[in-house]
Structure 1
Amino acid sequence: MSTVKETVTSSLKETLKQKIEAWRPRTTRLLKEFGKVVIDQVTIEQAIGGARDVRCLVTDISYLDPYEGIRFRGKTIPEVFAELPKARGSEYPTVEAFWYFLLTGDIPTQAQVEEVMAEWKQRQNVPSYVFDVIRALPKDSHPMVMLSAGVLSMQRESKFTAYYHSGRYNKLQAWEYMYEDAFDLVARIPIIAAFIYRYKYKNDQHIPIDPNLDMGANFAHMMGIPKPYDDVSRMYFILHSDHESGNVSAHTTHLVASALSDAYYAYSAGLNGLAGPLHGLANQEVLSWIMEFQKKLGGAEPNKENVSKALWDTLNAGQVIPGYGHAVLRKTDPRYTAQREFCLKHMPDDPLFKLVSLIYEVAPGILMEHGKAKNPWPNVDAQSGVIQWHYGVREWDFYTVLFGVGRALGTMANITWDRALGYPIERPKSVTTEMLEQWAAEGGRKS
């Protein structure tokens, strides 16, 4: 092992160790002294309806406020972009700086970022058999299948699993090996994603890693897309990194890891959840809808009048406006706003963006007048596909893979802390429909 790697590892990992040791007494005290304190009640509607709004998960990585939007480690998206060290020549932070921040909650110095970048590069070498596994799949397999299979195939590399079976497993030290797996995974997954893109859509012609670039710039380089796609990548991966623990990809990853499965098992499962049309696949579906919407205008230049009519026609036909509304948010998604600001600066005349922008101007008012939407504001998916399309990534099936690269950051930070705090296996209690009917007749559960 090189001296550089030892130095880098001791810096971030030692900082994280100090954070964990200071945090553990807080969790222990809550369990010991206040474990019976009631923090929520569960209704029949919540039991049947997917446990919506049941407060039963703990994470300090991010929090989603209905009116404020996502906060990463207590900071809003604008604060994160403003405070984290920037990539050279960029207005956006490096993904490596954000990874340090997610793990520790601290804004890293430039020297600390450079240490993480050096270690990231040492960890990003993907075993050759991963590419063999992907090539063994039918080439028309969905790219999310390829990504999930590629991640899962690396399970044989798991340091956590090797430690668990070593005969010296210690619950208080388990996080160190989960951290190793998590760091390896976030460093390698962009390499795998770029390989899948070039394999499926660019005649299997690949672009090698540039060791001089940060993660976002290197991803753009391997994709074969010039500036400012490096900033698109940095922005996109940070914005999609985490969204509390209750969303399907984050919750699935946490759930599988709670069984002491390693990061590769856990995140492969999380990716399978992300692939669903009610989760990560939504950005692809929104772009498809926008392009169909554009066709309905019959070549006319979009304006408030014809866009309003088309939106009303959509709603009156019993359809929804994709990209609008959110299960938690009650305002414009700050992730949408961040991407809109990028578009206004870099691609203001893009026809699809101009249409998206007009929809943003008129859709909330129409949805409020229509009266069926709890939240008439756009979410992250209303914007993201348009940016990818503008820069030449026009293979819709690949959009969820991009989401998966970003979501790895938050999920891997979370399961590292899950192990650090010794969270147990997740095991909710089920009830029967007959029980619900009985409690409904009695006005609630009596015992």
Structure 2
Amino acid sequence: TVKEVLQEIVPERRALLAELKKEHGSKGLGQVTVDQVIGGGRGIKYMLWDPSVLDSEEGIRFWGRSIPECQEVLPTAPGGTEMLPEAMFWYLLTGRVPSEAESKQFQEELVERSELPTYVEKVLDSLPQTLHPMTQFVIGVAALNHDSKFAAQYTQGMKKADYWIPALEDSLDCVAKSFTIAARIYNNKYRNGQQGVPAIDKSKDLSFNFANQIGFGESEGFVELIRLYNALHTDHEGGNVSAHTAHLVGSALSDPFLSYSAALGGLAGPLHGLANQEVLRFIIGMQKELGDHASEDKIVEFIWKTLNSGQVIPGYGHAVLRKPDPRFMALQQFGVRRKEVAEDPIFKYVDQLYKVAPGVLTEHGKTKNPFPNVDAASGSLLYHYGLKHFEFYTVTFGTSRSMGALAQYVHDRILGLPIERPKSLSVRRPPSASSSRTRLTPLSRRFGASDGGPQEARCLIWSASVSSARSSTAPSCLAPSESKSRRRRRFLVRS
């Protein structure tokens, strides 16, 4: 079982953290500028995150493997072509590729956990049909806290070294039940409630059951898309709003249900989880203006018209990436391989934009990354197969992201990481002009070796109050090294 594999890994992970603190804890690894603090912490390396590392040139790597490499080694469903999200979840939790037998057993365990308690069903069914689906999702996941094993055992008293065990139990429950919650929300909001909804098929995977319960079970293409979509969106480092929120709330030892419910609130924000909807609206608008079969020259004209009006091309550019997002490439290739998708005018525009938009954006000169991100393709594929309720797209994102966020939640408890508590600065008390360099805080202190948490990491603006115990200096938030040596960087980032 996944628990048995993790039990083997726990001593190794704890030893690795101890070695990191012993060998590197007092070393300064970088500096932080005021611009970074004002700019939302962009580029500040400040937290540990195990399952994935985002490289600006290579894109996301899960435990060192690229997306194409994961597609090669992770098991698929019987007769399927796309890697199973359950296999990816196992991989994120353990760092080990599951065998076919392990993947099957894990799939069966998760689907067994996917049934909802009656009280959660009643809560969801009582919500107004007009309530945004993400608000319903937040409520449904938070309500599962009623049965939290972590919360119950913490209240009863347990050893800190054992926190990870009930954390794992809750995390598996949360991931499995989130798919069923999402399906129930869809049926209540867009269909006839629970009338005629098929029961969970215990012989199938989570993605199939989700698709089947919302009326798409007979569409082989949609089921395979949802499998790929969920596997690709599981994790994208720890600094994005939803992942960081789950980590932050979890650092207070809130249980996985409360932690991920909070993360969903962040995902619901228009700057985080709405991007693929904006891309789809842009493409549909382009289709209305240019028709179903526009030439590349016409598309280039449309792009320039959009840019010259002060708007952006949604789905292009990324905060970190400087190459095409490999998640986009996986989805784009999925569409190209399937004739019914490749001939869809909406998807054709996705493909044509990929060919011409980077050149226009480079010539325009106002973006560091003119290449497509994952949102440039995901919405058009969901739309093609008939999932046309835009506001629900973020819910599908949320079912996927639960796997990465909660895999790290388990690792946080394995490592015994302290509560997160960075130092805030007031905009009314700027840093001293006498020093252009930041004061570096020892890594060992940030990780709790001497003061219980990252108390000195200065990385956000807070105007309401300022502690006078310490003088106000430039931000000094530390994190794993940006060494050119990939091996060294991975050791520091992933340990």
What is the TM-score of this pair, normalised by structure 2?
A: 0.86
Q: Number of aligned pairs?
A: 434
1:46-78 Cα distance to aligned partner (Å, 9 max, x none)? 111111111111112001000000011111111
1:214-255 Cα distance to aligned partner (Å, 9 max, x none)? 122222211211212111111000111000000000000000
Larger deviation: 115-124 or 339-348?
115-124
Counterpart selection for 2:352 from 358, 376, 379 = 358
Look up the match of 1:22. Answer: 12
Aligned partner of 2:318: which letter? H
Look up the match of 2:243. Answer: 250
Contact residue 325 and residue 375 of structure 1 kept, 8 A: yes
* CA positional deviation for 1:134: 1.6
Counterpart selection for 1:292 from 279, 285, 289 = 285
Q: Unpaired segments of 5 or more residues in structure 1?
A: 1-10
* CA positional deviation for 1:301: 2.1
Check if 1:53 corresponds to 2:43: yes
Counterpart selection for 2:302 from 291, 310, 331 = 310
* CA positional deviation for 1:26: 1.2
1:296-375 aligned at under 5 Å gives the runs: 296-297=289-290, 299=291, 301-346=293-338, 347-375=341-369
Look up the match of 1:264. Answer: 257
1:379-405 Cα distance to aligned partner (Å, 9 max, x none)? 001110000110100000100000000
Check if 1:416 corresponds to 2:416: no
* CA positional deviation for 1:258: 0.2
Residues of 2 paired with 1:389 and 1:118: CA distance? 30
Check if 1:227 corresponds to 2:216: no
Look up the match of 1:8. Answer: none
* CA positional deviation for 1:39: 1.5
Contact residue 73 and residue 97 of structure 2 kept, 8 A: yes
Aligned partner of 1:87: which letter? A
Counterpart selection for 1:171 from 151, 160, 171 = 160
Look up the match of 1:201. Answer: 190
More helix by share: 1
Task: Name which structure has the greater RCO, CA cutoff 8 Å, separation 6+.
Answer: 2
* CA positional deviation for 1:409: 0.5
Residues of 1 paired with 2:436 and 2:94: CA distance? 46
Contact residue 61 and residue 414 of structure 1 kept, 8 A: yes
Residues of 1 paired with 2:435 and 2:281: CA distance? 48
Q: Unpaired segments of 5 or more residues in structure 2?
A: 440-472, 474-495
Look up the match of 2:486. Answer: none
* CA positional deviation for 1:441: 5.9
What is the TM-score of this pair, normalised by structure 1?
A: 0.95
Residues of 2 paired with 1:445 and 1:148: CA distance? 39
Check if 1:39 corresponds to 2:29: yes
Look up the match of 2:69. Answer: 79
* CA positional deviation for 1:445: 5.1
1:306-342 Cα distance to aligned partner (Å, 9 max, x none)? 1011100000000000000000000100000000001
Residues of 1 paired with 2:426 and 2:278: CA distance? 35
Contact residue 113 and residue 177 of structure 2 kept, 8 A: yes
Check if 1:95 corresponds to 2:85: yes
Look up the match of 2:134. Answer: 144
Residues of 2 paired with 1:13 and 1:300: CA distance? 52
Fraction of identical pairs, as percent: 46
Closer, same or farther: CA 363–432 of 1 in aligned 2, 3 Å = same
CA-based RMSD of the aligned residues comes to: 1.3
Residues of 2 paired with 1:283 and 1:196: CA distance? 20
SS in 2 for 1:71: strand
Look up the match of 2:449. Answer: none
Look up the match of 1:3. Answer: none
Larger deviation: 306-315 or 285-294?
285-294
Closer, same or farther: CA 300–96 of 1 in aligned 2, 3 Å = closer
Contact residue 336 and residue 382 of structure 1 kept, 8 A: yes
Residues of 2 paired with 1:99 and 1:433: CA distance? 42
1:283-313 Cα distance to aligned partner (Å, 9 max, x none)? 112111211122222x362111110111000
